Structure 1
C-alpha cells in the first residue's frame, strides 16, 4: 500500500506536523525537526538520529538509500519512488526521474513543510522528477540529479516487441504482488486491454448514462474472454454534477481539459474503492511512450521524436500529479505499469517510426504496442481506435450540457461554468 509522506521542519513544527496528519487522516506519517532534535509520527523508519519515509516500491535498505541521497545520485536507486529524509538540521526530499510519486514542499516564515499530498500544503512547490531538494539552515537547494535515459536503440519490430513484453509483464507483476487488493481501470481500449490480460485483475469501468463506453467495454471484455471480471457503473447527470464540484476543488483548476479528463479518473477510483480496491492500475503513460495522441499523426522524423520526448518529460506535471490527487482522495493508490522505469527506458529507445507508422497511406498510432497486443488478443481489438476517455465516457458531453444550463452558450461557456465552481 502507498505510504504517504508528510512533515515539517522549523519553529512550531510540532503543531504543523499534527496539522498535516489531521488534514490527510490516519494513514499519513509526519516528521519535524527543531534544532538538534528530530521526532516522528506515523510509519517512518528510524535511521540513526533521523527518519526516512518512502512512497513507492524501493528494494534498497534505508541505510543504502541514505548513502545514495548523501552522494546525490538518484540514478543509483532502482524503481519508482518519492523519499523524505529528516535528521537534525536537515530535510532531504527526492523523486524518481519519471515522477510517478509526487512530493511537495513549502517554506514559509522559517517553517519548511513537505507532503506527498498537495492538498495538505498551501501553495506548495513540487519536487521535480529526478531532483533532490535539501533544506538546511533556513535555505533550500534544488539539484537535478537524474534524468530519463533511452535504452539500446530498437529499430526492428521483433526486437522492440521482445524488449517491451517482459518488462511490462514484470512491471504489472511487481505492482499486483505488492498490493493487498488490486483492480484495473478498464476502458476497452488497447492500453487497458493489454493490462487486463497481463494482470488478471478485476476490471472497473464508469460512464455517463447513454455513453459509448458502457457497450464498448462490455464488448472488449467479451472479446478478451474476461467478461466475468468486469464491473461497470453508469452515473446520472445529477450524480456527475455533484462529483464535478468536488473534483474542481480537488484540482484547484477550471481548465476544461484537466477537469474533463480528471472527472472520469475520479469516478473510476471511487467505484474501485467502494469495491475494496487499494491499488488501481491504469494505462497512464502509454500514449506518450508509444505515440498514441492524434496530434502525432501529422509529425514524422525529428519533429515526432521531439514531441514524444517532450511529452514523456512533462508527464509528471501534466498527468501524474492530477491522477494522484484524484486517486488519493478516494483512498486508492495509482498503479502505472507503462511508467515503470525499465519500461520507460526501453520505450525511449524504440524508433519513432515504430510508434507512429504509415501503412497504405494511413498513419497508425501506437503501432508497436498493437503488434505486442496481437500476441494476446484478436486483431479486432488490437487495431481498434478508441476515443479519448473524456469523450468515450460521456463526460465531455455531460459537462457541456451542464455548462450551457448554467452559463449560456457564448464562447468560453465551459470554462466560465467551471470557474464558478472554484
Structure 2
C-alpha cells in the first residue's frame, strides 16, 4: 500500500501591492481555509457569494471586509479558498496577515504558489501559467494582448490539437505493425502522411512568428549609431523625455552602451545609445566602439545619425530596413542624403522619427505567433524534427514502421513537454519565480 502523502499547508498572501490603498485583497487556499475563515468571520458563507463580515482575532476586531469563499474543485487552485477584500491601510493588512499566520496549518505563500497549485490540480496548463505570468508583467499594450492570448490558451489549444492528431497517426501505424501477419483492410499510409503533413505545416507556421513574439515579450532593441557628436545622446534624451545620457561637444563622451526602456507605439523598446564610431588610439574608447558595433549588429533596428559634414554610414553595419537620419538640421551645413531630417535639440522631426520607428517595428510584430518563449520554440523545433524523421521512415514502407512510430512518439512527447504534462518539474521553479506573492 503506497504511503499516504502528508496534508498540504494552507497558504495565504496579499494579492495587491503594498502601500496605502482603498482596498487590499488577501487570498487563502488549502485544506484549512474553511477553518481559518470560520475563526476570523464566525461562519462559513455560501460559496461564490460576496458577504460583508467583521473579521476578528482573539476577540479584537481587525477589519470589516467583503469575503468570498470558493469550495474545493470550483476555485482557481482547486482547493478550498477564500478571499478577503478589506481596507488597504498598511496597518490593517498587517493585522490580518498576522492573524492568519497565527492560525494552525497556515503559512505565507511563496511567489507563484497559488498558480502552481492551480497547475498541479489541472485547472490550467503550463502555457496558461506562463501567459498569466506575462500578463502580470506586461508593460505595453502589445505585451498585454499577447499575454492575454497565451493565458486564454492560444498555443495550448493548438498544441493539444496537434497532439491528438499525432496520437491517431501513431495508433494507425502501430495497428499495421500489430496485424502485420494478417490482412489489413485499408492502407493507412495516406492518412498518416496527411496527419504528419498538416501538423508539420502548422508547427512551421507557428515557428515562423516565434522571433517576433519573443521580441514583443522581451522588447525590441533600437540602436542609435553614428560618428562622435552626431547627436545620438541628445536624440536618446529627446525620445526618452528625460536626461538619460550625458551630452557634450567633446568627442568620445559616450563610451559604454546606455540603455533606456520605453513604450513606443504600444511596443516595448530598448533604445541603445552607443559610442561614436571612429578609429581611436584611446584603448577605453576603442573598447566602447567595439561594443557599440556588436550591440548595433544584434539590434532589431539601427538609426544612423549623420550631422552636417559628418562621416557617412558604415556599409557593413546598416541593413535595408534601417533608418538614415540627418541630425542637427537646425545647424548650417551641406545637406545629407537621408530618410529623415531631425533636430533633437529643437524637437523638429523627432515625432516623425518616432512614428517611423514604430511603423517598422509594428511590421515585424504583425507576424508574431503564440510561441512567445524560447522554451516554446525549442519544444516545437524538437517536435518538428521528429515529425520530419517520421515522414521519411514512413516512406520506406512496412520494414521501417517501428522507427516511424517511435519518431511519432517522440514528437508527441515534445508537445506534452510544451504543455507541461511531462518533465515539467525542471522548468517550474524558473517560471513561478517570476510571479509575485498572492498569484
Q: TM-score, normalised by structure 2?
A: 0.21
Q: Which has the higher strand share?
A: 1
Q: Which protein is bigger by CA-based radius of gyration?
A: 2
What TM-score, normalized by structure 1, do the two folds share? 0.22
